[in-house]
């Protein structure tokens, strides 16, 4: 059974619109009302073997991709790193996707502000358990 994030209804004033440049433009409040569905997650491959003298610090890292159930479809993904004791995932880097956030007049907030708000948005989601479950199934 697939789990969903942010299962709120989309109201007419928050319906996303696809632009000619491929972005789905919507206000932050509209993004908060979009239901996201887990698409895929995976582990990053280890870098090529390098000769080291002594022990080195390593980390388990990966990615996750989510889509909306809206038309047009919103896509958003981000990288993560696994921490131990207890096992927990933490987003790393900026989320990526086809989203351009807009203000109340539907003017673009721009890539920098959109990226910052997408970080805030992703960090409020409860995605970690679903990704861990998916990774366990995919890699066992």
Q: How far apart are CA 36 and CA 126, in angstroms?
A: 11
8-54 residue pLDDT tens? 444 444 556 677 888 999 999 999 999 999 999 999 987 656 556 66
Q: Give the residue extent of every domain in the chain.
A: 4-44+58-138
50-85 residue pLDDT tens? 556 666 667 899 999 999 999 999 999 999 999 988
Per-residue pLDDT at 8: 41
- CATH code assigned to 4-44+58-138: 3.10.450.610
- pTM exceeding the 0.75 threshold for the entire prediction: yes
Per-residue pLDDT at 41: 98
Report DSSP letters for 19-64, one per residue.
Answer: -TTSPEEEEHHHHHTPPEEEEEEEEPPPPPP---SS-----EEEEE
């Amino acid at each position: 059974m697939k789990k969903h994030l942010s299962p709120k209804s989309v109201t007419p004033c928050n319906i996303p619109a696809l632009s000619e440049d491929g972005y789905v433009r919507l206000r932050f409040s509209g993004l908060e009302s979009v239901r996201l569905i887990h698409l895929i997650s995976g582990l990053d491959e280890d870098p090529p073997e390098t000769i080291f003298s002594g022990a080195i610090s390593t980390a388990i890292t990966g990615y996750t991709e989510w889509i909306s159930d809206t038309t047009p479809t919103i896509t958003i993904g981000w990288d993560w790193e696994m921490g131990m004791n207890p096992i927990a995932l933490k987003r790393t880097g900026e989320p990526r996707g086809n989203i351009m956030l807009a203000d109340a007049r539907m003017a673009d907030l721009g890539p920098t502000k959109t990226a910052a708000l997408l970080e805030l948005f992703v960090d409020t989601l409860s995605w970690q358990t679903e990704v861990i479950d998916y990774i366990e199934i995919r890699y066992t």
